[in-house]
Structures are given as C-alpha cells and as structure tokens.
Chain A
Amino acid sequence: MGMTLTEKLLAAHCGRDSVRPGEIVNAALDLVICHEVTTPPAVEMLEKLGITKVWDPSKILVTPDHFVPAKDLRSAELASALRAWREAQGITRYYEVGNHGICHALAPEQGHVLPGQTIVCGDSHTTTMGALGTFATGIGSTDLAAALATGELWFKVPETLRIDLAGRLPFGVYSKDLILALIARIGVDGARYMAMEYGGPGLAGLSMEARFTLTNMAIEAGGKNGIMPADAVARAYVEERTDAPYTVFEADEDAAYAGRHALDLAALEPMVALPSLPSNGRFIGEVPPERMDQVYIGSCTNGRLEDLRIAASILKGNKVAPGTRAIVVPATTAVWKQALREGLLEIFTDAGCVVSTPTCGACLGGHMGVLGPGERCLSTTNRNFVGRMGSTKSLVYLASPATAAATAIAGVIADPRDYLAKPDLLDAGTDLVAAGADDCLWGV
C-alpha cells in the first residue's frame, strides 16, 4: 500500500522504506526554530543536564517574535536569555529586533524552509511551513530541548486527512475564508493527531502566501501538521530565496487516508468565525453587523505582504470608522519594508490605522492592542478563544484581511465585496492588488 506525503517524509527521515500510522519513529530534524517564549525553558533544561552544546548550530534559526520589542521587564529577560544563548552556541541564523519577524512567516520568507525537510519549533503554528512540502509541527519546551541536543525527535506517525480542493476562489474570497469554512465543517478537533494533506486541482490557483494561511490553521482543527505538495508555485517561491538543494516528495496514488473532504472553492463566501472557537465560522451574510471596537490585521496567519495589499486596496482613500481602532502588524521586517516602499503604510496611516513593528503582539494578548473588558475585535489571527487577545470579557471574531479592512471602515462587521473594486473595473497599474498580487486573488 502507498504512503501519504507525511508518511513519505517521516520514513525518509528515519531511514526506513515505509512507515504506518500509529508507529513511533525517531526522525532526524533538518531545522529547529527558536523564539523567546519557549526556548529559554528548554535551554534551562539542557543546562541542568550539563548539555552545553546544541547538536548542530547551522540547523537552528532564532528570532524573538512574541513580545518584541520587549513589552516588559520579564519579556526583556527572556529575550536577553535567548540572545546570550544563541551567541554562546554560535548560531548564525539569527534575526535580531530590527530584522525580526514572526518565526513562521520569517523562516520561509528568508529561504530557510525547503521542500522535503522536517522542521520543529516550540510553537503550535509551526504547521504553517508545511505549505512548502515539509513536515513541520509544533512541540513543547522539553521536546525542544531534546531536539536541540540530539537533532532528532520521536513522533507517532499520524493518520492523514486528505483535503481535496477544486475550482477557484470567487471575487472577495480568500484562503482565510477557505480554512475557516473547512474548520467550521470538521470542527476544532476534526483533524486531531492527524496530518492535514491538501491537494487537488484547486491548489494550483492559490499563491504561496495564500497557502501558508491554510497550513497555519491546521492546528485549529487539532492537526499535527498541515502539508501540501511542493508544486511549481512552491518551488518558484523557494528558488527565489535560496539555491540550497532540496527533495520533493509526493503522496502515492494508493496512499491510505483516514478521511477525505472535498471543497469547491468557487462555492465559498467571506467567512467570520464568531466567538469563541475557530470552528464557529459563518458566511458573512449570516453574521449580524456587530459594532467592533478594534480591527487587527496581522499574525503568522495573515500578516504577509499579500494580506496587507488586499487590506490597503480597501482602505485606500477611506477612513477608519469613529469608535473603531485599526491596528496593522506586518508579520516580518521584510514585509514591513516592502509595505513602506509600496506606499501601503501611508495608506494605512492616512486611513487612521496604527502600524506596528512586526510582533505577535495582541494576537495572544501580549501587547500592541490588548482588549479590555466588553470590547469586540475582528481579527485576522487564528484563535478567538476566551481571553486570547486580552480580557476574558472581550470577544474576538476571525476573518480575512479584506473583511477586516471593510469592517474597519464600516465600524461594524462588513462584507468586503461591497468595498473592493470590481475586477472588471480595475484600472491596471493604479490598483495595488492588481499591481502586486497573483490573479488568483481575484478568481478571474
């Protein structure tokens, strides 16, 4: 019997011809990513054991991202512990504040993620990087310590849930809407312990940045990893960034899947996940136009350049509604700089948004827009759990950057299709999205 993409990758990394779901294997790791929240505890564990050297400094990437620049004294201590450790270990793939980014966006953007790799990070959204045909999964600090010391880690080979995509996204509908629709269908534990493998003809029409949003939120369905084949789009993305060699794996035709879901992209509409579970997704037409105190555009889910271009194309020439605050947080320094060059930051600030330096920020209730009691926020992040962005009495609604931008202008949850220029009316060269993004964004 054949193997799924995840099974192929794990087999190759434990020196076996094949592996089966349920088996426990020890897999070699190609990249370990470290940020300031979960790494210092791992480093302390290693120090206690007298392990003073990591297994291979060249296979480790370090960036502070959660509370940067340091939000308080304790975060400063974590960041300086991270800094001192990476210096002592001679880890050169280091992105200091000023060059930093949310690790799941930064690592692929800077060419560190290659198809065929195994990647771990002490962070649940590590699944993001599977969009490049890698096995990437989140771990805790003990796992991280073991990974840093030995360069390998135990994994229970997951069953695979196959997601077959067909068609193209309609006007005003994005990959965030797709993943929210999928999670609404299968639930927050619909893929618990499983690999979520995306495939099918609908994939080809999605840009790389759009794809990262799909694998990013695999964890919101309980998935161990999200993965998709490294097709021409993925390979072009990688080769623009690095000339390092890599291996492309494919699922076998006769691979065994624990389940299959088919999604017709053309049938989707903008989605909003109501508080307080990511699976509470509704078509926007069914969502009451609740007033929003805050709109947040950013995170490892939707803080990439394409996301900012879409939001800016809606906010251009408009104003954020009185009574609503809009906060834009580019995911990485490179995104921030490019947004500056393209004039996006000016559009945001002219509209009355705050633009922050890259950080996880308010996504996890850290800083840069924490919610007070009774406040409502429409956010492009990935979790709307109780208290996730601040007060346990605040409410978080999840949606795409387009819906977020439309909502910022309206002050109430709004349908982005009422604010986007219709594709046939686009004046080529003047519209930001047409100028910068793939045509697939428009579904034309």
Chain B
Amino acid sequence: MTAKAKTKEKRIGLFVCHCGVNIASVVDVEKVARVLKDYPGVTFSADYVYMCSDPGQQMIIDTIKEKHLDGIIVAACSPTLHEKTFQEAARLAGLNPYQIEIANIREQDSWVHTDKEKATKKAVKIVKSHVAKARLNENLEPIKVDVTRRALVIGGGVSGLQAALDIADHGYEVIVVEKNPSIGGKMIQLSETFPTLDCSQCILTPKMVEVSRHPRIKLLTYHEVDAISGFVGNFKVRIKKKPRYVDETLCNLCGECEKVCPQIAPDEFNEGLSFRKAIYMPFPQAIPGTYTLDAEHCLGLNPVRCGKCKDVCDKKAIDYDMKETIVEEEVGAVVVATGYDLYTMQALGEYGGEKYDDVVNGLEFERILSASGPTGGEVRRPSDGKVPKSIVFVQCSGSRDTEKHLPYCSKICCMYTAKHAMMYRHKVPDGQATVFYIDVRTGGKSFDEFYMRTVEEDKVLYIRGKVSKVFKEGDKLIVWGVDTLTGKKVEIEADMVVLAMAMVKADGVQDLLKKLKIATDIHGFLAEAHPKLRPVESLNAGFYLAGCAHGPKDIPETVAQASAAAAKVGGLFAQKELIHEPTTVPVNDELCSGCAICVTMCPYTARSMDPDRGVVAVNEILCEGCGACAAACPSGAAQQRNTTDDQIFSMLRAMLRE
C-alpha cells in the first residue's frame, strides 16, 4: 500500500445524473454529489438533469479538459445503456476510455426502491465503490494483431466447397483439405435431392469444377490436418499429404492400370454395394481427375510381387516409393466442415441390417437409385438382383430413441424417405412402398407439398408406428411393426427394407477436433458459440462451423450455413487488424510460481506453461477476460486489468466501511 500512496493521486470527476425524475425522485442526487465532493480522489462533483444529452456530454467533455481529470464516474443508468456513450465523450476530451466508470443508480437503485433516505445512502455507497476502483484504473489500449488473410477449409463436401467458393469470391485465398481422394463429400453419392428432385451430381459437379479452377483456391485432396497452432488471425497448420502412389499431374485417366489390376476392394462410393480395383478413380467426375492406388488392397507396392499397373502406365505416373509428406500453411481462419456419418446398422440388430443383404441404410438406397450406382439406376435388391415388389422404409432408425439409441432428430430422414418411396414408385410402378414413422416432420420450403405428393399421387402407405423386428422367411423379409393409430400389430412381407439411419458425427473426427481444440456437444457435433446468436462460430476464436459437422441438416441449410461461415471469415479478414478488449489477465512473472492452476481454469486455451521460464505465458488475444484464472491464482500473479484484487478489495471497503 505504501508504494501506491506515493503515486500521484488521481483527479476524478463525478457526474450524477437525475435522469429527469427517474433517479432524482427517489435518490437525492444533489446530496450524492455533495457527500462525494470530499471523498478521497474526487476533484470535481456535480449533478445534471440528463447526463446522456448533448449538453450533459458536453459538460463532461469540458470539465475533463478544464479540471484536467484523469478519471470520471458517471452515476446514472445501467452501463449496458450508456457506457459506450460516455467512453466516447471521454475519448473526445482526450481521456482514455478505460478510465470511465458507470455507477448504476437507476436500474439497481432508484427504480427498485421507494425509501428515499435508504436509496440515497445506497447510491452513495455505489458511487464510492466506483471512485475506489477508478483511483486504481489504468489507461488501456485495445490489443491489436495482424491477420493472415487466408482461410483453411477442412472438408470437401458441399459445405466446405460452398464456404471455400464464397471466401475466395470475397477476394481471399482458401486452402481446402479433404481426406478422401476426391472432393464431393456425401452429397455426390446422392441420387436425386428433395424436394425438387434435381440430380445431386448435376448440381454439385459444376461447383466441384469451379472450386478446382478457382485461382484463389488451393485444393489438397487425400490430405489430412495433422496439427494446428497459433490463434485467431495467425494459425500455423501442418497438413499430412497421404501418398497416392500416382502422380496426379501426370495421370491422364487412360484407365489401363485399372484394367490390369488383379486386386479388388469394396467400392466406397457405392457404399460397398459393388467392387473397385485397388487402383481406382472414386467416381468418373472425381476431382482431381486422377487414379489413386489404395495401398491397403494393393498386392504390396512392389514390382516383384505384381507391378502390373506400373508396367502399363505410359505416363510413368505410378510411383511405389511415394512417402507421406507434410505441408505447412499459415492461415487466419478455419472453417470446419467435416460432415457426418450414418449410425451403424449393427446397433439395430433387431432390424437385421448386418445380417441380411436386403436390409440397407438410406445412403445405400441412394446408390441403388442413382444412375451412376451399381445397378445403373434400376431398383434391384443386393442379394439376388431381383426387382423388389415391396419395400418397407423405417424412419427414425436410431433417432429419437432416448432409451437405447440417440435422443435427437436427424432432421432429413422424413424428407429423404418420402423421396426414396416416391422414386421407387416411379421406377417400379407396381411396387408397394410402406413407410413406418413416428411423426412426419416436413419443416422446410416446399417440403410438405412434396410429402403430400408422395402420399396422394404416388400412393405410398404411411403407417404410424415403430418396427420391432425384421427377419427372413424364404427369400422374403418379414417386418413386424405396430400401427399406433389403430392399435394393431402389423406384419408386412417385403423384398427389401430401407433403414433411415440416424446421422452421427463423422467417424474418427474426434482426433481432429482434439487437435483443433474446439468444443463439441454431447453427441460429438461441433458446438456453436451461441445457439441463437452465434450459430456459425465456434467458441474458439477464428473457427467457424458449416454443415453436418455441427448437427444434422439438409442441403439448403448446409449451403446457407457455409455461406454464413464464409461471410464471418470475410468480416474477420476485412479488418485492418484484429482489435481485442484489453481487460485481460496477464501474468506477473515475478509472482508466478508456475503451478499452472490458471492454465486449467482457462476455457479458451489462452494460458500455457512456458517450460523455459517456468512461468505461465498468456496469449492475450485469446483471453476473453472472465477472470476465472485470477480468482484461482494462489500467488496473486494473475491480475485482471482494471479489475485487480486490489481494486475489488478497495471497492468492498468503500461499500461496506461506514
């Protein structure tokens, strides 16, 4: 305390507002100004009818200049209303805006009390506490950092591609990282899309081409993000380039390698309903247009054991010695668009998904319907290739089941099941389509009309109820269910069963998210910064969310979110430099014992142990100023700027000591 006493006493001005009669009718404002006149630190004290009015603000500006004030208290309404107003007035008078204190004597005093004497006494205490704080306030400057105007988009599905295109069209460079050999994501596997029945490939491939040709987009397929460090505006990313064993710049897609390759593997693009060779193109419109050699299914990347593909390649594009390499990039923002997967059919053993070939999930049925699929778009069942004359569709397979499976609604299944049933009826006019449902949820533009068409025009039978069991009898599948509208048990003989499996977080995405250090919800979907007001941002500054990585959603919603994320990135990049509130919690190296308790307190990873110096280092651009670390620090080394422990103690003294 003695050191403090030696420092020059501040010159603090107090301005007490009447707010017309809002404050003055209950609090004796003249008395508050009078009592505080002689309070330590106070140089000037006055009251005025409307402090926020032009003359009121001018009075503050003039007084700051005349009386050389270096701190002011405005005793008025809640700081949420006019803190900014008075900070601006102070700034105009040449005073640092962080020297302004707002004493709330309206909402938290005059408006909630009727006893004038008590309310006035309370106002005096409130004002005194702010004087005590103001005496120790320091001039602060907003923290400024440069921004790398380059974005990383993780995921090359429709959300990632849309985000990349929009950011690139804003004029910034974008790097798209996709773990698979081609971009396109799950959407490229779909047949038609509801509610307009556009062919998915027809609408997505032009976008894929646009991405691949955009001068500001760098496409890194068959790459994975390995590590990320830094902070908003200044990330360093390590990206792993997986060996494709084919030089994509040389491959001319002649396809000779594929013809001679003796090894086969399940075709991922067709959801395993057909086979591909070990050297393959995922699908004809794949981007980049190149073959990829799948080392796992190859005879051994060894010319002695096989080497047939290498022998036939005129372009000498095949290289068995390719190794995994690391690419390093610097970016300022990251859009996470890692997509989803379907809940495993194994989890629903009673529906026989893993046992019977003719029980398929929604995505497999998309491939069966698709013109580019294993059956060329004819509906044929996987087991024997027969055209099914009866298909049962089971909605909510795994969704909306709080007891055994997932509690949430997967949102798109009602619509795609309606589409599946409709497409099936178009392709097999004498086929019977039956849908089991809990509710039909068709919230979306033109969605309900589409569903009504399925029921009324295409005569799809909807049964409200759940399916209890699917089992085989001869070459038929017997579906046991219940019709909850009639209360009767239902048994249906079907040739095929399609399960609208729940959408879940993408397989293996946890490791990536751990590296990115971004938060997820309890189901492993990305958590947004605020469920209503910040739906496309992660809580971790500089990360943005798009698509089903954030939760189940349909294509229009995914595209809208991707564009929103891109707009946010554009907003970030449009700033000359990043401005951050300086009311952060730095570390006093002299006092820090290196216990690192504060590191565990920080939800923003702003604090870390500096192993060389044995003390904690703070990245103030990440610090949001909650002060949890300051309260936890046992040595007082972590002090929040302008809310130090000394300030809190002084305020308490001022409030409580009579």
Q: Are chains A and B native binding partners rather than an unrelated pairing?
A: no
